[in-house]
Structure formats: C-alpha cells, structure tokens
Amino acid sequence: MSNSPQSKGSDSVSVGRAGQWGLVAIFLLFLVWPWIVESVAPGEGNSQGGRGSMQSRLKQLEDRVKRLSFFENERPADQSFMEEVFREGNAKAYIGQDDWLYYRPELEAVFGKGPFYEEPSSVAREKVAETWEAPLDVIEGFAKQLDERGLELVIVPVPTKPMLARSGLGLGESVDTPTHYREALAELSRREIQVVDLLPVLGTLPESSRFLKHDTHWTPVAMAMAAKHVAETVIDKMGGAKRGDRKIQWHAEKRTHSGDLAGMLDRRDMVKEEVELSVPQGAVTDDSGSPIVLLGDSFVNIYDEPGLGFGDEEDEKIGAGFAAHLSANLAQPLHTIAINGDGATAVRREFASLPDKVLRSKEVVVWVLSARDLLLAELPARRAGIRWVPVEFRKAEVEVGTAEIAQLSVTATVRELSQFADPRETAYKDAVYSLLLSDLTVENGDHGKEEIYAFAWAFRDRVLQESSHLEGGKRYKFTLVPMKKAGEVSNATQVDDLFRTDLDPWFIKDFEPLP
C-alpha cells in the first residue's frame, strides 16, 4: 500500500509541530488559570470558602473567575445568544411562549415528585449536612406550638405561576390543580389546620391579570383579591367578629418594573410591565399590639418594599402590598413579619423570638407563603434554598433580648458562614447571608453568650458587597446592631440561613480585618 498523501482518507487532518505546541499551551493555560486568578486578585475572600478544605479553596477560586470582567462581559452576550437561537433561559429562569418567563423551581414544584416523595438512600445522591424536615410535619408542629399559647393558625399557600399562567407553557389558559397541591391541602385539613385555597379564587381572573409576565409574583389585582378573601376567613376565625372601624381612603399609582426573572436572565432590554397599585391610606401593618399577626414572604412584600422593583428612589415604603390590603379589608391594624425568600422558616423564627407575653396577646396567625415551598421534594427544595426547620419559642421568664442593646462592638473569629448563589441567578436582587462568630471579645458590655449569630450583605442590586468576602477562620473587629433595628436589612432575602434559633440575630454594620 502506498504511503503517499493520496492514499490517506479524505477526512484526515494533519497538525504541524507549531500547532501541536499551541494546543498544549491552551490546555496548560486552562490548568493554571485558577492560580493566575489567585495571583491577580490577592486578599479576596468568599462567603463559601475560608474553612481550610481543598473543596472550599477550589470553590473560592471558581467564584473569583466568575467575577473577572472578561467573563462578566461575555455572559450577557452568551445568554442573549442562547435565548434568541434556542429559547433556553438559564438554570433558574425558563423562557416560555410569547416571552412568558417562569422560575424553574416553580416548574419543579408543579411537575416534579411532590412533598410526599422520600429520596432513596444512595451513595450517588447529593451530600447534605442536615436532616430533611418534611414541610407538613413542621407546619403541624408550628400549629401545635401556637395552640399551646392560645393562638390559631391560618395558612395561605400562594399558587405558583405555572398553576395560574399556563399559556406560556403551551397548556392553554385553564387553571391547573396539581395532584401534589390537592393532596397537600387535603393532608393539612386532615391534621386540623385551616387552609385558604386561593387557586379557585384567583382562577376567576383573566390569565393576564393573575401573574406578572416577567416576574415570579402575582399582579396587584390578584393580590388585592386574595387579601379580601383572606380577610373574610380571618373574621370567621375570630368568632364572627366585626371589622374594625378604621377609616380607609384609597388612591391609585402607576409603577413599572422589568421583573425579577428578566433580571435573572440579564435581560434589561425587556419591556417593563406597568401596573396600577391601589394604595390604602390609613392601613396599619406594623402594630405589635395587634391581635392579628401576618407572616409572609415576598408575595406579601412585592408592592410594599421598593427594593423588589416597583418602588421609586424616594420611596421608603410603597404601602400597596398584601399587608396593607389585608389591614384595609379588616379595617384594623396588623402585626406583620415578612422576609423575602424565607417564608418557610425565617418568619416563624422571628415570630417565635417575641416575648412570651406579647405572643399570648395574639389571636390569629395568618401565614402567607409560596406554594412552591410547600410542594418541592427534598433535593430540589435544597437546591432552591428552601429549608423547613422547627423553631423554639421563648420561655415566659426570658424577656430580655438584643433589642435592648443599641450597638455592639466586638472582636471575633468567623467560625462558620452560610453559602449564597450567583446573584445573577437568584430570584432576588438583594440578599444577606449568615455567619457564626466565636472567640468573642466584647468592648462595650457583657454579651452573655459564647457565640454571636450575625447577618451581612451578600449582594445588593445583584452586585456582590464587600461583606460577601468575609472569610472563615479569620478574625475581625465588628460593629453590630440588632437585626430588628437594622432597617431594610431585617426584611431582606436571607439565603441559606444557618438557622441558629437559639441565638438572637445581629447585623454586621461595619467590620475591619485584623492582622
């Protein structure tokens, strides 16, 4: 057989020596790139590293690479290309028909395995540090804790967007009642927990009036209808008591927002949605003496907190959210505790931290949360940052807490940090994360504890903050304020919270690394 070039297959490729060395150089560059990043970005930390393990170090380097301008500049262009050509979206946001956007964990909640599914034991499954608590068991336990203190629970799961806005998924405009949802509500009723089913109520609205097209949340019309329906339930729950006598006046405001899902896709070019907000003048939502407590998440805050997208720069509070509408329909004040992104546990922990005499003065607890939190199976729930943790209530004799301390100066070691996701792929543009501080030296008094449970900004407006680089094992000088006195921070999204229910939460107002 001839060895001439003509005898070779037509699909053969010849690479010269220079080309071979070029390929080797590119391969080696990829291998050493993390160490190059380490050298050009000295001193940076990451909330997910700092524990000394090789895994955490690699994760730290990976996060630094993601923050380099080269990659950040390319990602929006790549994302736009994928959307235009393949209509794909990303790990968190799904692009449906006619530019309807959906949050992928909500799709999993509707079409996935459901809350009754038990993950099989397997060496191949994801490694987790905490035991999973089933949502319905935690809810039942919370209801019993309230009953022991003379309070009644009304739980309000807000149907997800894939249940009520289905045409974007190619499923028509009919309202879907998922099997998991129906079974979960039936089981809660069997356990004698009162549930307000909003699905048939909101299903009477036209589909375009149920959910925002580019956001995970309901429209102002749907929210107002839900608040009115819940108010009727609360009145019945309080023995048919009449509405209060507060005088409520209403005015309308038009606002626009591009949508949190558009933010997750880096699509600031999407047309902003305009809504008309009904603002009730005279509604009171922060009265700690009210017998009615409202616990909630961003579905409560969406038209109240400016940071969720519909506020103007001059707004401290919009005053058109679910709490304001519920207060207006009841014509009496509410005591509201609403934390974005953690309606499952953080709001219960915050409520349980109230003095015992305050708790026992309440009559009804209305708990509004996304049905997504209730319906996800264990592994997708963990991936979405949803955890169901039992909370401990304060004992009657424990009445002194951090709320009496205005500010704390302390030198401490960061012992543990919670993780947080890429800010470009979360449902919220602002988030805090939690830390556990130990080896304390308190400069202005006796803290009385061996540990401090604190929160710090992870990102704001989807931009990582300086406090996101605090490192485990390092010592800092901190200025802390009680979480309840931290203003807007107290209602910020809490991501992958460490859930130290035995410690009062603080906020890191300022910090300085020590040599």
Q: How confident is the model at residue 33, as a pLDDT?
A: 64
Supply the pLDDT for residue 70.
41
Residue where the block lists tokens 């160490």: 35
Percent of the residues in the chain that have a pLDDT greater than 70, as a whole number: 77
Does residue 306 surpass a pLDDT of 90? no
- Tens digits of per-residue pLDDT, 253-272? 999 998 999 988 877 677 88
In the Cβ-directed half-sphere of 476, how many Cα atoms lie within 13 Å?
Answer: 21
Give the residue among 392, 478, 383, 387 at the shortest CA–CA distance from 425.
383
Residue range 429-456: mean pLDDT, rounded: 84
pLDDT value at 71 more than 50: no
Q: Tokens 């209509």 — which residue?
A: 87
pTM (whole model) above 0.85: no
String of DSSP letters for 265-326: TT-TTSPPEEEEEEEEET---B-TT-SEEEEE-HHHHTTT-GGGTT--TT-S----SHHHHH
pLDDT value of position 508: 92
CATH topology of domain 402-513: OB fold (Dihydrolipoamide Acetyltransferase, E2P) (2.40.50)
Q: Tell me, what's the pLDDT at 92?
A: 86
Strands 505-513 and 452-460: parallel
pLDDT in tens, 486-503: 776 765 666 556 767 678
The pLDDT value given to residue 492: 65
**pLDDT, position 317:** 87
* Tens digit of each residue's pLDDT (9 = 90 or more) over 386-440: 889 899 888 775 444 544 677 889 999 999 988 787 777 776 778 888 899 999 9
pLDDT value of position 423: 79
pLDDT score, position 346: 86
Token pair 């058109």 is found at 320
Q: Indicate the average pLDDT of the chain.
A: 81
Give per-residue burial for 189-203: e unless 16+ CB within 10 Å, then b: eeeebbbbbbbebbb
Percent of the chain residues topping a pLDDT of 90 = 49
All structural domains of the chain with their residue ranges:
135-383, 402-513
Structure confidence at residue 270 (pLDDT): 79
**CA separation, residue 48 to residues 52, 64, 320, 425 (Å):** 11, 11, 37, 16
How far apart (Å, rounded) are the C-alpha atoms in residues 169 and 171? 5
Can you give the pLDDT at residue 225? 97
| pLDDT interval class at 465 (50, 70, 90) | very high
Which DSSP symbol is given to 384?
T
Judged by phi (left if over 0) then psi (alpha if -120 to 50, else beta), residue 389 lies in: beta
Least trusted range by pLDDT, from 35-39, 216-220, 248-252, 501-505: 35-39
Rg (alpha carbons) of the chain, rounded to whole number:
26
pLDDT for 485 equals 77
